[in-house]
Amino acid sequence: MAGASQPKRLLILSSKLGYQSRSFAEAARRLGAEVAFGTDRCRKVDNLWGDGALALRFENPEAAAEAVARLASETPIDAVLALGDQPTLAAAHAAARLGLTGNPVEGAWNCRTKLRQRQVLRAAGLPVPEFFAFRLDELLEEILPRVPFPCVVKPLTLSASQGVVRADNPAAFTAAVGRVRALIQSPPLTSSHRTDLDRLLVESYIPGREVAVEGLMTAGRLRVLAVFDKPDPLEGPFFEETIYVTPSRLPAEVQSAIADCAARSVAALGLTDGPLHAEFRIQEGKPWVLELQPRPIGGLCARALRFGPDRIGLEELLVRHALGFPGAGAEREVEASGVMMIPVPRSGIFDCVDGLDEARATPAVTEIEITARRHDPVLAWPEGSSYLGFIFARAQDPARVEQALRQAHARLRFVFSSELPVEHPAAPRAGCGESPRRRPAAAKGSRARR
């Protein structure tokens, strides 16, 4: 039993153990807590990579919770934190099994597929696009009459806009379905143990500006931590993210409509505790729900948010909340802040990036991390799901932040080689003849996602 003097222990569940899980673990350790990891990266062998990770199957959340309970019987666990969409249901099961605070299993279940989420939100009267799902073995001629053009086609359980394609007419729809089908039937995804990849969701396309909301839920009450504007149009046909800037420049009444819509969606889904990441489109001042997930913003984007007088990061705020430490109520800093997820201009073998030192010298730019490694195969959207890296900026106002991100990005030139290299050099490098500062030691496949 955990005595009063024993450190608290946080279990981080994540498909990828890379820089995101590391930054949460570091935040927990800074607070004097211990950290355990659970992953489905290798689903059979515990601690395969020497990081002590428990091997779990997130697609079988009851069994994952059982394995977590066995771990907790040896060393107690005080909180479970899911990073990314895949472990959220296993995290809910594990929390229920251990009697810890967490989202109810039903709430996490309601977010497990995009279809289920749409059904629950529509039934509760929330503004969602028209939608229907179809099986990949159905005949397209029979589906086409039901498609509301312009539409968006998407897989039920992928993330980071992977496989999300807009189609404005039947020919584009047929091409989109073929392309998404090829993606979800390709080896990386067929071997990924994702569920529900045998169907696609079709939705009416909602025009308008898009925002992301980062939130924190406590006993069913949602606190909005930040509303990020996405100043690029995101009109498709593919939906790779680029710039996030907060605070939002939308009128106060639109922001409060977004917060209200987010709170009603959380209640309808039955989510109650922990981080929330959500996306909305704004049409004539009215928010439409695109998606909510009970997990924090992905990739390195959490670095764009700092809280309280000590400027603690989002990771630390969320760990404090999960473990019941003081300080989770800290307010976001007043300075404007933003991040650019560096788009992938073309599929190929990443070689290097030119202009990094110049880009880093851009006024208001605070940090640039190139997370793609030399000779990594990178895929452009819609097949892709990993960014080349992240640019961060801070300034007095959001317009200045946006400008700095664009300027820095314009100074970067990404070099690709189309062929796989014959030899892999021992040390990958980021810059073409420049100092590759602060290269994260991310394992292959643990690159940037939103």
Which spans of this chain sit near ligand ADP (rule: CB under 6 A)? 114, 129, 152, 154, 158-162, 164, 203, 205-206, 210, 234, 239, 279, 281, 290-291
Q: Which is nearer to ligand ADP, 382 or 398 (CB)?
A: 382
Minimum CB distance to ligand ADP, residue 352 (Å) = 29
Q: Which is nearer to ligand ADP, 384 or 431 (CB)?
A: 384
Q: Which is nearer to ligand ADP, 37 or 239 (CB)?
A: 239
Minimum CB distance to ligand ADP, residue 19 (Å) = 20
Per-residue 3-state assignment (H helix, E strand, C coil) for the chain:
CCCCCCCCEEEEEECCCCHHHHHHHHHHHHCCCEEEEEECCCCCCCCCCCCCCEECCCCCHHHHHHHHHHHHHHCCCCEEEEECCCCHHHHHHHHHHHCCCCCCHHHHHCCCCHHHHHHHHHHCCCCCCCEEEEECCCCHHHHHHHCCCCEEEEECCCCCCCCCEEECCHHHHHHHHHHHHHHHCCHHHHCCCCCCCCEEEEEECCCCEEEEEEEEEECCEEEEEEEEEECCCCCCCECCCCEEEECCCCCHHHHHHHHHHHHHHHHHHCCCCEEEEEEEEEECCEEEEEEEECCCCCCCHHHHCEECCCCEEHHHHHHHHHHCCCCCCCCECCCEEEEEECCCCCCEEEEEEECHHHHHCCCCEEEEEECCCCCCEECCCCCCCCECEEEEEEECCHHHHHHHHHHHHHCCEEEEECCCCCCCCCCCCCECCCCCCCCCCCCCCCCECC
Minimum CB distance to ligand ADP, residue 123 (Å) = 18
Minimum CB distance to ligand ADP, residue 336 (Å) = 22
Minimum CB distance to ligand ADP, residue 155 (Å) = 8
Q: Which is nearer to ligand ADP, 81 or 206 (CB)?
A: 206
Q: Which is nearer to ligand ADP, 183 or 364 (CB)?
A: 183
Q: Which residue is nearest to ligand ADP (CB)?
A: 239
Q: Which is nearer to ligand ADP, 290 or 404 (CB)?
A: 290
In b/e form, how buried is each residue of 49-84, taking b as 16+ CB within 10 angstroms?
eeeebbbbebbbbeebbebbeebbeeeebbbbbbbb
Minimum CB distance to ligand ADP, residue 184 (Å) = 12
Q: Which is nearer to ligand ADP, 39 or 113 (CB)?
A: 113
Minimum CB distance to ligand ADP, residue 94 (Å) = 23
Q: Which is nearer to ligand ADP, 78 or 85 (CB)?
A: 85
Minimum CB distance to ligand ADP, residue 402 (Å) = 18
Q: Which is nearer to ligand ADP, 16 or 360 (CB)?
A: 16
Minimum CB distance to ligand ADP, residue 275 (Å) = 15
